Chain A
């Protein structure tokens, strides 16, 4: 009986668990005796806190409010620069709200019609600082499900020619197109594919100071360079070629675009192909149906604008390309000149929210204090 000892220890089933086998430990963890603070939320204990919080919120609110006074922006709704009646205007007319004077002209160039709008903008104060130019869209649903996913991030970050042919979630209709090339019909991958790219915003803006000096604009710092460089990459050029279009050789342009991506941005200082910053800005779909997206920054290297935009008369010339159908949706297009503070753009929501909530806190403090007094009085 070699294993007698072992056998004695092990008892099959229904063993009586005793303290000897597994001693009961008197530890704070096991005995549920961890040191604890027991909060009570009643009038007495809460009103000091609401008072403190209220004061802090009010303080922050006022600080933000003051800060916000430094933020400036001017918003020009140019949706209807194409006259609602459908007729063009060849002289400046007052806009609906009377703030701007607009001129609409239609020019024909090589068989294509170009619609230009001009606005007279009177800056009544200096816009000193980092002036930004935005375009804004209202009631434009970049955030619908089919739209948001209709893109191929792998194609856009084309690390290899095969990645370029990846159409991701673009959907069958928006991935490929049959075109005639070299005399035969070919079905090619669209680059960039998907609805976001297809519907890229293509109005252009030009701002002139006192009708003479064109305000210099730049794309520097317009996007998060490091992140965007990772997300948007042109495909590698084939060996020995320096033409970007060779890299895109096996693809075709989106139907709605006038030219392939390698050509369309070729003249733009904003970058070529997928590296184009306007393209990148557009490809980041907005969360809400009203949004603004950066168009350009003021180039402050020019002497006259080194401080920012001085006050005075400016002329804005808009090339009106982006289609807006009239209807219940009331899609709006705006042009925005803005200067932000550290706390963001001119938006009084944040300071006012802080001030209101701070005030509510203080009001509640008062109420709770009253309650506290009453309870005390009653109990005495």
Chain B
């Protein structure tokens, strides 16, 4: 072993393998399985997962208690059967999903590939691939395992790969074989490698770094990511490659990275669980009280009720501890108060709600041909609860389509801020001059064309640049537009066409970009054999490392950078340096040695790089424009109008960040910026304390303000006592800009805000640097955009465009939240409504625990007769039309208030109890004597039970319709189906006995019940009477205290029936928001009166004054609800440009009135040349303070 070789032998953390030979260690095979279950593990694992839920444990207990002989009032299996049905539905869903996974695994495992077997390549399946084997992979094929690139069909063993499956990047990446193996281009030659040894890292998730050594013929050759072909990547533009298998199956980087993030649980689930626990307490109390009731009844009346004698003595166990046993009997009797089917109903509802998100054509992006993907379904309603949106900037708010826009070099600035592309003829003119400046310009353009890792791809005379960093691509394209064309990259060589003359550079070293270094360098030997260091990077990183001689240009560049930043450009500084041959030959081995290290390589390389990247000469700076995504300001305004705090978290510098914040309407010219940029803890602390006071002051004055904080201050703001003040400030500010953030800081901020209170935090981002933040947030949204799919893969929901967030939150979020809450409340309601009747009946059945209903019908209530209404509500109810939802973002906030409070819950429960009382006692008096026929017959026990049950089913189904906000034929049909199914099933059930020895109690009961005319009279009477209270409460509340939601509906109702055609098929973004003409038509249709026309005039005035081309969008919105706005508010609210108030009251929902604000200031982005001008108006409908 050569002495300088890194001694990896006695490190245990090394994988050692031999090419094409038996291995000393056993490695995993290449079979992959992404299944959750195997046939054997299914039952234990599935049951384990199910019984982690409290409710399932509860029902299991009930099932077990029912098995105690003689204790259950409902027989042994009446809970078991529905419980098994419900578990089976869950199991089927799991099996279905697992089968899909298994099928895809099998398909993948059986893919063919070619392996070297005895000197010949033979076709084998992926699953047969073993570590150490040499494989041949052809063009456009996937790599079956992580391979060491040995050689390829191209010169010097080059290979292009596409890694879109791994990181979503579609650009080609270049890989190159080690020189010693690169020439082995036939199977015979490559056979010679047999027995060569490979040492490398143990399998890890890290896809950006890799280090290993190939030991062949006593030589140790280091290899890294350059030579590693990852499983899942695809070979492109290369005929074939040979590769040695290093990691197989689950050891491969792809599978190491495919672990799913832990499941997030929704707020609503936690609340539901709390409610269930409360109900459980009630249940236990009721059981004990009922058992006590029995004791008392027995003590008083036992002697007289001679016919009941010795009733309780029969099963031995009952005499053992009679009170406890009776309590258990009642516990079983009342157990259904806890809705057994709630979990599964919610699961199904969410499952299909997620499909609605996936299917939404208005969240489909034609350009990238991608649509929204709900990757989890249990957070749908969380989307309706969002209080904070934490947004990444690059790629999320901006397009991440970089354009080289301006540059500064040699005390001159080139380029304009207008126009699409860089355009300045002076640059080339000046470049051709043989002055110092001209030289500098040529140097800058050369650096732009050389200092990068871009791969050119020639296609029909055109050169496409494949770059992993959009900035580099923009620079190379920018240089090309100035006649400095980079056209050929070979492993050690770069050829550019400099003003029509090919110049080649020998690339000696590339010092890679890392987020710590914030710069990258290449060391090249130019035509004149001079060694040069080209370095580009962030201003902070470069300025520290330029020589004292550059001071003059430094000041100028700084000035230019400030100007660029004010346009929101991304800036890069360029510096170069000539290196003496002797210095380089001293430095180079150190760098190589650092590069071979398996552990601590990164740090070592940074240190070595630091030695050479110093005393550079500052050449100039470039500005790259990153355009805003479509509809970003509108979306942000809509979110803010929905009372959501919007935060922008970015790694950019403060000026850029603030500027982008302005252009995307996070703040405007009147917004007071509270800038925290202190370097020490004490300063930061004092600043925060000061700002908290200032913010409160501004809040009182109803002025807008925003916080701007940078990464350095944030470190302090997140520690110690400052944290508290930071939290306060964060809650006060409508918008916050955090700049110079590292990915981990983003996650920390998200975490902090989550902990500030019970707020739902949504994080949205598109890049790998947002993954931590996305996973830390309550809801993570990934944008499947330019920067790859890492963010999307880690997210809960993936969308293609930032502005889809508006629809996702305002429409899907609000709807799903409202629906799910309704499903939950309704499930509680219907269970209590039916089963509390058992308690009322206990008063009349000597507290004996006798059921009023037939035992099987009790269990089937949730599973069959009322299973549909909650599902239908959960899937098809539309609380408010989507276009209205989008037009009045303030509704989003009012929906949050409306939903799942304790009051609301108590209201529903109270109503359920009231309903059950009415239902029971009306039936009771109706069947007072037990005779309901003209023929003198009697119905007995079940006549009462079945009648009550029928009335409950009808009432509960009608209640579902009453609670549905939009009546579709489905909702009517399924309520009818539910009611009919009850009649149908008892009809069938009453025919069972004695053919089946089952249901003797029920025999003939259907005919008995239906043959009574008064039963049918009661069927009309009782449910209607029961629901009368609901109707009155609803109509009085809506008339006297309409909620914003109801106002919006009322506004729509002005036109009579809902107009359905207008909104249908409106795929384009614009059509959702009525155009000017539509708006005016709407006005014409609206009954006019003086106030209206007066106000109409005012709004037109407003429009003229603000000069905004939009404005009518909100007009009709406001218009419709004019009746509901007291005149006093009216006069204030529509004075043009009254104020810039964006504060909203947290007052009672009923008092909040959706109101238009024509706010001239917030529309400043129209003047911003960087933004598209369009006819749309931002959604500034807001709730005013009253």
Contact = CB atoms under 8 A, between A and B. Distances in A.
A266 to B, nearest CB: 25
Given A289-B846, A343-B1017, A42 B304 contact: no
Interface string B928-971: 11111111111111111100000000000000000001111110
B934 A231 contact: no
Contacts of A145: 73, 329, 845, 848-851
Contacts of A328: 300-301, 304
A274 to B, nearest CB: 12
Contacts of A26: 361, 1065, 1067
Interface string B149-174: 00000000000000011001000000
A304 to B, nearest CB: 21
Given A281-B938, A354-B1017, 5 more contacts: A32-B815, A38-B1049, A144-B308, A292-B931, A357-B1024
A150 B32 CA distance: 61
Contact of A43 (B301, B926, B1039): B1039
A4 B787 CA distance: 29
Interface in B805-820: 815
Interface in A202-238: 221-224, 226-228, 230-231, 233
B850 A173 contact: no
B312 interface: yes
A153 B1064 contact: no
Given A40-B1049, A43-B1035, A287-B943, A19 B364 contact: yes
A30 B1067 CA distance: 13
Interface string B885-909: 0000000000000000000000000
Contacts of B258: 13-14
B42 interface: no
21 contacts: A7-B142, A8-B140, A11-B165, A12-B254, A15-B165, A17-B358, A28-B1064, A36-B878, A38-B966, A38-B967, A43-B1035, A43-B1036, A46-B1035, A50-B1031, A64-B1017, A141-B308, A145-B848, A287-B927, A327-B301, A357-B1028, A379-B1123
A310 interface: no
Given A1-B141, A41-B1035, A34 B371 contact: no
A199 interface: yes
Interface in B1010-1049: 1012-1014, 1017-1018, 1020-1021, 1024-1025, 1028, 1031-1032, 1034-1036, 1038-1040, 1042, 1046, 1049
Interface residues of A, number: 121
Interface string B307-322: 1111111110000000
A16 B793 CA distance: 9
Contacts of B1058: 36-38
A34 B1050 CA distance: 20
B43 interface: no
Contact of B1025 (A136, A142, A357): A357
Interface stretch (A84-92, A239-247, A364-372): A364-372
B139 to A, nearest CB: 10
A38 B1000 contact: no
Contact of A291 (B308, B355, B930, B1053): B930
A72 interface: no
Nearest to B1001: A153
Contacts of B1034: 41, 46
A36 B967 contact: yes
B941 A148 contact: yes
Interface stretch (B105-113, B499-507, B625-633, B1174-1182): B105-113
Interface residues of B, number: 135
B226 to A, nearest CB: 24
Interface in A14-61: 14-20, 24-26, 28, 30-47, 49-50, 53, 57, 60
Interface string A116-151: 000000000000001010101000111111111010
B112 A2 contact: yes
A34 B846 contact: no
B912 interface: no
B267 to A, nearest CB: 24
A93 interface: no
Interface of B: 32, 34, 73, 104, 107-108, 111-112, 114, 123, 138, 140-142, 164-165, 168, 232, 254, 258, 300-301, 303-315, 329, 355-356, 358-362, 364, 366, 368-371, 373, 784, 789, 793, 815, 844-846, 848-852, 876, 878, 882, 922, 924-945, 965-970, 993-994, 997, 1000-1001, 1003-1004, 1007-1008, 1012-1014, 1017-1018, 1020-1021, 1024-1025, 1028, 1031-1032, 1034-1036, 1038-1040, 1042, 1046, 1049-1050, 1052-1053, 1057-1058, 1060, 1063-1065, 1067, 1123
A260 interface: no
B596 to A, nearest CB: 32
A148 B850 contact: yes
Contact of A35 (B307, B926, B935, B1060): B1060
Interface string A324-336: 0111110100000
Given A7-B142, A17-B371, A230-B994, A371 B944 contact: no
Contacts of A349: 925-926, 928
A372 B1013 contact: no
Nearest to B362: A31
Interface of A: 1-4, 7-8, 10-20, 24-26, 28, 30-47, 49-50, 53, 57, 60, 64, 130, 132, 134, 136, 140-148, 150, 153-154, 157, 159, 171-174, 195, 198-199, 221-224, 226-228, 230-231, 233, 281, 284-294, 297, 323, 325-329, 331, 338, 340-345, 347, 349-350, 353-354, 357, 360-361, 364, 368, 371-372, 375, 379
B370 A34 contact: no
A273 B32 CA distance: 73
* Of B300, B373, B784, B1036, most A-chain CB atoms within 10 Å: B1036
Nearest to A336: B929
A194 to B, nearest CB: 11
Nearest to B1008: A224
Contact of A344 (B104, B932, B1046, B1065): B932
B869 to A, nearest CB: 16
